[in-house]
């Protein structure tokens, strides 16, 4: 169908281009400059008749126009001879007949998508599965929320989506709004903590920890709260506490579930039973954490003044089971803080505590 349309359009175009060549040339039609000045003479006479011109100026104007008319007549334009005209016409017809479609089609073959149908909005079949386009969904919820900013459920729905999209600040805001509007729930509270942790490059800050503690107090069975409380202890270097907390969590989890395995690997890592990397790099969550750590790393590479950051980064790599990287960070931190003996002392203490080789 599309090719039929393209073919007929091409046909009409060529017809239109070649049409004048099929006409016999009518020499009498073409207008020369003489006509212009003859028109000017008539105009002068008309104006004079209407009384807009007096005789003297009309005479002057006529003289000038007549003089120009004579000058124009002198320039006669030679016509081309008939034989070469016929040849030129043949060439022009061939160019139009072959050149235009070939150029247009080859360019269209490169640029066009002839097999793609029109898809006007009204005729679009919305795909059944819901993960079609997350950003559009988010935009819709946002539009709704901007009109109904007091819709707590809406905030609660969009907050985890923000978190998974990496829009941490928006997630913190959304969880906060939901908590404010719906009231205290362990899920929202631990979500807020997680968002804060994510915003802090994967470190369970004191602020985040207080959220996890609140969620835990509200619902001791909340897995997220339990898990991050344990991780906070681990990041603080409190192995024993971390292990206890992880073990308590593990008991409530089915052993072959994903969270169950995750917790089990943490326990294994902490108790030193296995030296393999704690996180499976392919697991979604660890990938996220990995990303955060790398971001922090990149930030510190450009600006090494943040001592807290260096400590966090060292700890993070050690926790991830990447010993060489951790000791590398340690030496980079020492370089960055070479003039600050206080910071150096802190760094060394932390390295010793984490068991980072110097």
Among residues 72, 165, 264, 288, which is the contact residue for another protein, using CB under 8 A? 72
User: Is residue 130 near another protein by the rule CB under 8 A?
Assistant: no
What is the number of alpha carbons within 13 Å of residue 146 lying toward its C-beta?
6
Terminal-to-terminal C-alpha distance of the chain: 74
User: Is residue 254 near another protein by the rule CB under 8 A?
Assistant: no
User: Is residue 247 near another protein by the rule CB under 8 A?
Assistant: no
Instruction: Give the CA angle between residues 159, 196, 209 to the nearest 5°.
Output: 120
Closest separation in Å from C-beta 81 to another protein: 10
Asked if residue 299 lies in contact with residue 309, where contact means CB atoms within 8 angstroms, the answer is yes
**What is the b/e burial string over 210-229, where b = at least 16 CB atoms within 10 angstroms of the residue's CB?**
ebbbbbbebbeebbbbbbbb
String of contacts with another protein for each residue 141-180, x by CB under 8 A: -xx--xx---------------------------------
User: Is residue 50 near another protein by the rule CB under 8 A?
Assistant: yes
CA distance 179 to 210: 15
User: Is residue 117 near another protein by the rule CB under 8 A?
Assistant: yes
Instruction: Give the CA angle between residues 270, 272, 276 to the nearest 5°.
Output: 95
User: Is residue 338 near another protein by the rule CB under 8 A?
Assistant: no
Helices and strands (H, E) in the chain, number of each type: 17, 0
User: Is residue 131 near another protein by the rule CB under 8 A?
Assistant: no
Among residues 28, 83, 118, 303, which is the contact residue for another protein, using CB under 8 A? 118
Among residues 39, 166, 255, 324, which is the contact residue for another protein, using CB under 8 A? 39
Among residues 28, 83, 116, 358, which is the contact residue for another protein, using CB under 8 A? 116
User: Is residue 52 near another protein by the rule CB under 8 A?
Assistant: yes
What is the number of alpha carbons within 13 Å of residue 32 lying toward its C-beta?
14
Closest separation in Å from C-beta 97 to another protein: 11
Can you give the three-state secondary structure of 120-164, one letter per residue?
CHHHCCCCCCCCCCHHHHHHHHHHHHHHCCCCHHHHHHHHHHHHH
Burial class (CB in 10 A: 0-12, 13-18, 19+), 107: exposed
Instruction: Give the CA angle between residues 317, 228, 305 to the nearest 5°.
Output: 40
- Looking at beta carbons only, is 51 or 272 nearer to another protein? 51
For tokens 């059944």, the residue is 128
User: Is residue 11 near another protein by the rule CB under 8 A?
Assistant: no
**What is the b/e burial string over 316-330, where b = at least 16 CB atoms within 10 angstroms of the residue's CB?**
bbbbbbbeebbbebb
Among residues 83, 114, 251, 272, which is the contact residue for another protein, using CB under 8 A? 114
Which residues ranging from 286 to 315 are in contact with another protein (CB under 8 A)?
Answer: none
Among residues 11, 16, 166, 277, which is the contact residue for another protein, using CB under 8 A? 16
User: Is residue 84 near another protein by the rule CB under 8 A?
Assistant: yes
- Looking at beta carbons only, is 97 or 338 nearer to another protein? 97
User: Is residue 340 near another protein by the rule CB under 8 A?
Assistant: no
Candidate segments 104-112, 184-192, 303-311, 350-358, binder of another protein by CB under 8 A: 104-112
C-alpha pair distances (Å), 73 with each of 26, 81, 263 = 20, 22, 103
User: Is residue 47 near another protein by the rule CB under 8 A?
Assistant: yes
User: Is residue 20 near another protein by the rule CB under 8 A?
Assistant: yes
DSSP structure class, residue 278: S
User: Is residue 342 near another protein by the rule CB under 8 A?
Assistant: no
- Looking at beta carbons only, is 102 or 217 nearer to another protein? 102
Candidate segments 84-92, 159-167, 259-267, 297-305, binder of another protein by CB under 8 A: 84-92
User: Is residue 28 near another protein by the rule CB under 8 A?
Assistant: no
């Amino acid at each position: 169908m599309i090719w039929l349309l393209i073919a007929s359009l091409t046909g009409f175009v060529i017809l239109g281009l070649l049409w004048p060549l099929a006409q016999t040339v009518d020499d009498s039609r073409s207008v020369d400059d003489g006509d212009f000045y003859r028109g000017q003479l008539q105009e002068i006479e008309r104006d004079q008749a209407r009384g807009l011109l007096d005789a003297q100026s009309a005479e002057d104007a006529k003289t000038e126009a007549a003089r120009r008319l004579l000058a124009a007549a002198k320039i006669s334009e030679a016509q081309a001879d008939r034989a070469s005209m016929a040849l030129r016409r043949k060439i022009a017809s061939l160019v139009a007949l072959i050149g235009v479609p070939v150029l247009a089609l080859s360019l269209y073959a490169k640029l066009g998508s002839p097999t793609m149908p029109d898809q006007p909005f009204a005729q679009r079949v919305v795909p059944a599965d819901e993960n079609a386009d997350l950003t559009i969904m988010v935009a819709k919820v946002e539009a709704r929320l901007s009109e109904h900013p007091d819709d707590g459920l809406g905030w609660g729905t969009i907050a985890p989506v923000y978190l998974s999209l990496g829009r941490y600040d928006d997630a913190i805001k959304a969880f906060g709004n939901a908590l404010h509007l719906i009231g205290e729930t362990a899920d929202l509270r631990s979500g807020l903590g997680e968002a804060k942790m994510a915003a802090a490059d994967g470190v369970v800050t004191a602020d985040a920890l207080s959220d996890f503690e609140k969620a835990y107090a509200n619902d001791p069975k909340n897995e997220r709260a339990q898990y991050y409380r344990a991780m906070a202890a681990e990041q603080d270097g409190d192995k024993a506490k971390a292990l206890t907390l992880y073990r308590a969590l593990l008991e409530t989890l089915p052993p072959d579930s994903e969270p169950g395995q995750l917790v089990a690997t943490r326990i294994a890592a902490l108790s030193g039973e296995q030296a393999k990397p704690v996180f499976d790099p392919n697991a979604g969550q660890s990938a996220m954490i990995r990303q955060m750590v790398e971001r922090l790393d990149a930030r510190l590479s450009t600006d090494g003044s943040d001592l807290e950051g260096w400590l966090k980064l060292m700890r993070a790599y050690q926790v991830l089971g990447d010993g060489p990287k951790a000791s590398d960070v340690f030496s980079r931190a020492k370089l960055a803080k070479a003039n600050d003996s206080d910071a150096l002392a802190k760094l060394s203490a932390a390295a010793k505590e984490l068991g980072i080789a110097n």
